[in-house]
Amino acid sequence: MAENSKNTSRRSMIKKVAAGTAAAVIGESLFNRVSAAEALLDSSLKGRINHSVCRWCYGSVSLDDLCKAAKDMGMTSIDLVGPDEWPTLKKYGLMSALTQGAGKGIGEGFNNPAFHDELVKSYTEVIPKVAEAGFSQIICFSGNRNGLDDEQGIKNCAIGLKRLMPVAEKYKVTMVMELLNSKVDHHDYQCDHTKWGAALCDAVGSDRFKLLYDIYHMQIMEGDVIATINKYNKYISHYHTGGVPGRAEIDETQELYYPAIMKAIIATGYKGHVAQEFIPRRPDKIASLKQGVQICDV
């Protein structure tokens, strides 16, 4: 009886020691992971990725505050801002790697000949301003299909865009058409696959027309993000990020592993900017932005 009691006591002691040791190991591991994350956030950027952020995602933050935060993080650009806001960027030593577009907007673009005169006029007016500001890219859109087949959509877009290429080439400003998903966010949008966008680039036939590869949108539409980047990188002059699903933070809460995507982009020889275009869900939006930049800083 005494022996059984001794064995029971010994087993209890072993369990307690084991539990304590495990807790210590787990605690130490967690501490190391937290410390590493903190150190990462405090470290300077590596310089292999040029970082930008899309203005519209931070509508509740003043442009001055966003510029200050971006500058503090080592970013060099704010995307999708118009001429009225460029002086604020300049005040903080920032550029706009991709400026706001001209014309009617996402749904009414170059695939509809009825809009060509207006689009040509508005882009002809703004492209020289982009160049004068020292910037080199402006966004544009295909427009919605509205029953138009993809082949005719390419033909229509090319007709309108070719009218602008002499201006773009003269001022060394690239018109960049965004690839958007038509399943969730932009129903019926025509430039919704990389293959279609690449075919349009070939039809336009100018180095001053390229694609904005939005990783969020193209993950939804076609997946195979890294393989697609490898195949079509010569047509791509800008990248945007976003968590899938939901377009929230690009951390472990979503399905893509952004460090691997960034390494693939670097491997293509890309020297342009990658802009964060997720919509922060956390109260501290600037902290979310900083995390996104660090995740992409490989």
Confidence band of 80 (pLDDT split at 50, 70, 90): very high
Residues 9 and 119 in one domain: no
- Is residue 8 domain-shared with residue 127, that is, in the same domain? no
Look at the chain and report how many structural domains it folds into.
Answer: 2
The DSSP secondary structure of 31-88, one letter per residue, reads HHHHHHHHHHHHSPP-SSSEEEEBGGGGTTS-HHHHHHHHHHHT--B-BS--GGGHHH
Instruction: Please check the confidence at residue 22 and state whether its pLDDT lies above 90.
Output: no
pLDDT value of residue 27: 38
Percent of the chain's residues with pLDDT above 70: 86
**Which one-letter amino acid corresponds to residue 158?**
A
Query: Same structural domain for residues 69 and 8?
Result: no
Q: For residue 275, give the CATH number of its domain.
A: 3.20.20.150
In this predicted structure, what is the pLDDT of residue 101?
Answer: 96
Rounded to the nearest 5 degrees, what angle is found at the Cα of 56, between the Cα atoms of 76 and 248? 95
Span 201-215, average pLDDT: 98
pLDDT digits (tens, 9 = 90+) for 135-191: 999 999 999 999 999 999 999 999 999 999 999 999 999 999 999 999 999 999 999
Claim to verify: residue 236 and residue 125 sit in the same structural domain: yes
Q: Give all strands of the β-sheet with 209-214 in edge-to-edge order.
A: 50-53, 273-276, 236-240, 209-214, 174-178, 137-140
Q: From CA 58, how far away is CA 64, in angstroms rounded? A: 11
- Specify whether the CB–CB gap between 226 and 253 falls below 8 A: no
191 plus 122 within the same structural domain? yes
176 and 50 in a single domain? The answer is yes
Same domain, yes or no: 228 and 104: yes
Indicate if 12 and 129 belong to the same structural domain. Answer: no
Angle, vertex CA 55, rays to CA 79 and CA 188, nearest 5: 80
pLDDT digits (tens, 9 = 90+) for 244-256: 999 999 999 999 9
Looking at the DSSP assignment, which residues form a beta bridge with residue 144? 189
246 and 155 in a single domain? The answer is yes
Choose the weakest-confidence range: 102-106, 176-180, 286-290. 102-106
Token code pair at residue 181: 């998903």
Is the domain of 54 the same as that of 18? no
pLDDT over 50 (residue 25): no
Is 90 exceeded by the pLDDT of residue 71? yes
Domain housing 18: 1-43
**Residues 84, 201 within the same domain:** yes
- Average model confidence (pLDDT) for the chain? 89
136 and 166 part of one domain: yes
CB 109 within 8 A of CB 142: yes
